[in-house]
């Protein structure tokens, strides 16, 4: 099949490369000349493990092409995916202006019969608006159907998630579109059409809702774990033991039940806000999710409170090393990363912060760079030099087995605040560190 992706971010570029790798002819439409020129040379604008090689291989094979021009790509394609960003507006609602703008351009260039899919995360009713926009913009002869195929990949594991998804959700009212989309996704839906555990055929509205409902539920699990951690700290229980035992119950499951410094990233914070805003539009007060947001904010501020406690109540002129800036390991994505709020609070309270991240330094410098009292280093050990306190904010693998003896020697005073619980308290304490984790 010939397929077009509009948007070459974490979703668009990964999915485009995977579909090209399956043998399809894939166009990717962007809107920044420099990025498109780079992509043509195999230089990708984001970090995702394995993606550069996958893109290069498929560009070299002639299956993956990048362009700024809608005309040839849209006219040739059987299927078009809209995979542009849907960031939050100040009110929490998703900003759909780019989705609608590209839908109009798709409409203007349609030829023959095409299935137009919104892959971006969008509120219920958006696909119907996309349909109206395309209907209005297209020439009389062109035919199309719309579908919602939401994306569930995780940054850091995006290629493998795309090749082996837990489920593929196809929401459309057209049998023809459903058939085309089933055939396109067939290689990644193991077990064929009868395997209900992987393929969900549903209405457009349900598909739109499934995505928000899933992300908001995962965020709820994380906040629940953080609330249990908070209570456990007060009551003298070990939250890690509590949550692990809870997770053994098949109805609960262990995933996303780890306490820590809060969730962040480009999806959970904005999708929780958007679902609250969608609910408001339908006169429903989604109180649980407002509490989820509150607990998450508290989880970040708890790191600052603990830093203060470990430094005798005062952060003024204290030197703090921060390990990990991206919102999770194996990505350079800094959008809504807890490190942003935590570092700004530490600086606000008079501390100086030296920070390191294996991959996200460039994005972190762009977002945090000018803050007074903040500097960046090129290695995890440099962060520890002369520090009064070391805080772990992202559980990168390379932080899991650091030479704590060396770190202790480098620090002014050996204090470790483990925001992701990657060290055991006894291990750190045995080496002479004063240690705090989350929920322990
Ligand atoms: N990142 C994830 O893990 C993830 C997972 C599932 C779903 N989603 C959803 O998928 C969508 C895209 O997310 P993302 O993380 O890939 O975003 P992103 O910011 O990484 O990528 C967005 C892309 O849209 C392009 N774009 C912006 N304006 C454009 C325009 N006018 N014309 C053409 N292209 C334009 C950008 O250049 C960029 O390539 C969002 O709705 C997001 O919620 C993201």
Whether 102 is in the pocket of ligand 1, judged by its Cβ within 6 Å, is: yes
Q: In 162-287, where do the E strands start and end?
A: 168-171, 199-202
193 and 300 in a single domain? The answer is no
Return the ligand 1 atom nearest residue 12 CA: 16
Does 11 contact ligand 1 (Cβ within 6 A)?
Answer: yes
Strand order in the sheet with 25-29: 64-67, 25-29, 2-6, 79-82, 113-118, 143-148, 168-171, 199-202
Cα(181) to centroid of ligand 1, in Å? 21
Domain hosting residue 250, numbered range: 204-440
Indicate the SS3 state at residue 71.
Answer: helix
Site of tokens 């705090």: 436
* CB neighbourhood size of 50 (10 A): 13
Helices (H), 284-430: 287-310, 338-348, 361-368, 380-384, 404-410, 425-430
* pLDDT confidence tier of residue 197, bands split at 50, 70 and 90: confident
Query: Which of 27, 51, 94, 151 has most ligand 1 atoms within 8 Å of CB, for mutation?
Result: 151
CA of 358 to the centre of ligand 1 (A): 23
- Residue 295: half-sphere exposure toward Cβ, Cα within 13 Å: 23
Q: Which band of pLDDT confidence, cut at 50, 70 and 90, is reported for residue 190? A: confident
Q: What percent of the chain has pLDDT over 70?
A: 99
Answer yes or no: do 245 and 113 share one domain.
no
The 10s digit of each residue's pLDDT in 44-64 is: 999 999 999 999 999 999 999
181 and 260, same domain (yes or no): no
- Which domain-ending residue is among 202, 222, 243? 202
- Phi/psi region, residue 303 (left: phi>0; alpha: psi -120 to 50; beta: rest), is alpha
Contact predicate 29/65, CB 8 Å: no
What's the pLDDT score for residue 434?
A: 97
User: Hey, which of 5, 29, 45, 83 would you mutate to test ligand 1's pocket, going by the most ligand atoms within 8 Å of its Cβ?
Assistant: 83
- Indicate whether residue 115 lines ligand 1 (CB < 6 A): no
Contacts 24+ apart (CB under 8 A), 371-380: 371/343, 371/344, 371/347, 372/347, 373/347, 374/343, 374/347, 380/323, 380/356
Q: Measured in angstroms, how far is the CA atom of residue 195 from the centroid of ligand 1?
A: 30
Answer yes or no: is pLDDT of 14 > 90. yes
- Confidence check: pLDDT of 194 > 70: no
Instruction: Tell me the C-alpha distance between 301 and 438, whole Å.
Output: 12
Residue 292 near residue 416 (C-beta atoms within 8 A):
no
pLDDT at 370: 83
**In the structure, what pLDDT confidence band is assigned to residue 196 with cuts at 50, 70 and 90?**
low
Secondary structure of residue 161 in the 3-state scheme:
helix
Give residue 408 CA to ligand 1 midpoint distance, Å: 42
Question: Looking at the structure, do residues 347 and 376 belong to the same domain, yes or no?
Answer: yes
DSSP state of 186: G
267 is catalytic: yes
- Ligand 1: which residue has its CA nearest to atom 27? 84
Considering the domain architecture, whether residues 300 and 438 belong to the same structural domain is answered as yes
Does 172 share its domain with 312?
Answer: no
DSSP 330-355: T----TT-HHHHHHHHHHHTT-EEEE
Atom of ligand 1 lying closest to residue 11 CA: 16
User: What are the beta bridge partners of residue 202?
Assistant: 171
What pLDDT does 191 receive?
63
> Do 7 and 114 reside in the same domain of the chain?
yes
Last residue of a domain, one of 202, 219, 252: 202
Structurally, how many domains does the chain consist of? 2
- 192 has a pLDDT exceeding 70: no
Among the listed residues 127, 99, 294, 307, the one whose alpha carbon sits nearest the alpha carbon of residue 208:
127
Choose the final residue of a domain: 168, 202, 236.
202
Q: Are residues 402 and 314 in the same domain?
A: yes
pLDDT per position as a tens digit, 26-40: 999 999 999 999 999
Average pLDDT over residues 152-163: 96
Cβ of 264 less than 6 Å from ligand 1: no
Across the chain, mean pLDDT equals 96
The residue nearest atom 11 of ligand 1, judged by CA position, is 120
Tokens 């045995």 belong to 430
How many whole angstroms from 30 Cα to the centroid of ligand 1?
A: 11
Confirm or reject: Cβ of 237 under 6 Å from ligand 1.
no
Say which residues have a Cβ less than 8 Å from residue 401's Cβ, sequence separation at least 6. none
246 and 183 in a common domain: no
213-234 pLDDT tens trace? 999 999 999 999 999 999 999 9
Catalytic residue selected from 267, 289, 304, 346: 267
CATH number of the domain to which 20 belongs: 3.40.50.720
């Amino acid at each position: 099949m010939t397929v077009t992706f509009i948007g070459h971010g974490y979703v668009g570029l990964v999915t485009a490369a995977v579909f090209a790798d399956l043998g399809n002819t894939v166009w990717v439409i962007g809107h920044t000349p420099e990025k498109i020129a780079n992509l043509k040379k195999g230089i990708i604008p984001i970090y995702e493990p394995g993606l550069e090689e996958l893109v290069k291989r498929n560009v070299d094979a002639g299956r993956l092409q990048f362009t700024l021009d809608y005309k040839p790509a849209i006219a040739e394609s059987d299927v078009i995916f809209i995979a542009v960003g849907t960031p939050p507006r100040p009110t929490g609602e998703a900003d759909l202006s780019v989705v609608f703008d590209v839908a109009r351009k798709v409409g203007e260039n349609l030829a023959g019969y095409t299935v137009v899919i919104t892959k971006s995360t969008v509120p219920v009713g958006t696909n119907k608006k996309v349909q109206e926009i395309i209907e209005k913009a297209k020439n009389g002869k062109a035919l199309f159907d719309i579908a919602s195929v939401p994306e569930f990949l995780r940054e850091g594991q995006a290629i493998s998630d795309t090749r082996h998804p837990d489920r593929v959700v196809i929401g459309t009212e057209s049998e023809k579109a459903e058939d085309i989309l089933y055939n396109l996704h067939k290689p990644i839906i193991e077990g064929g059409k009868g395997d209900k555990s992987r393929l969900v055929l549903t209405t457009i509205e349900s598909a739109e809702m499934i995505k928000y409902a899933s992300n908001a539920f995962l965020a709820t699990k994380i906040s629940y774990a953080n609330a249990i951690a908070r209570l456990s700290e007060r009551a003298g229980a070990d939250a890690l033991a509590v949550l692990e035992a809870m997770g053994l119950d098949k109805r609960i499951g262990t995933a996303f039940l780890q306490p820590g410094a809060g969730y962040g990233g480009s999806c959970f914070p904005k999708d929780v806000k958007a679902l609250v805003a969608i609910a408001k539009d339908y006169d429903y007060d989604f109180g649980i999710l407002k509490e989820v947001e509150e607990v998450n904010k508290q989880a970040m501020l708890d790191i600052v409170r603990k830093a203060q406690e470990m430094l005798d109540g005062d952060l003024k002129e204290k030197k703090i090393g921060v390990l990990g800036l991206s919102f999770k390991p194996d990505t350079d994505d800094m959008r809504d990363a807890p490190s942003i709020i935590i570092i700004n609070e530490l600086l606000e309270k008079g501390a100086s912060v030296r920070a390191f991240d294996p991959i996200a330094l460039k994005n972190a410098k762009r977002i945090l760079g000018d803050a007074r009292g903040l500097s960046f280093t090129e290695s995890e050990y440099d962060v520890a030099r002369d520090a009064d306190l070391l805080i772990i904010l992202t559980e990168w693998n390379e932080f899991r087995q650091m030479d704590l003896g060396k770190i202790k020697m480098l620090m002014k005073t050996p204090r470790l605040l483990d925001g992701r619980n990657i060290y055991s308290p006894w291990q750190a304490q045995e080496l002479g560190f004063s240690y705090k984790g989350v929920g322990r």
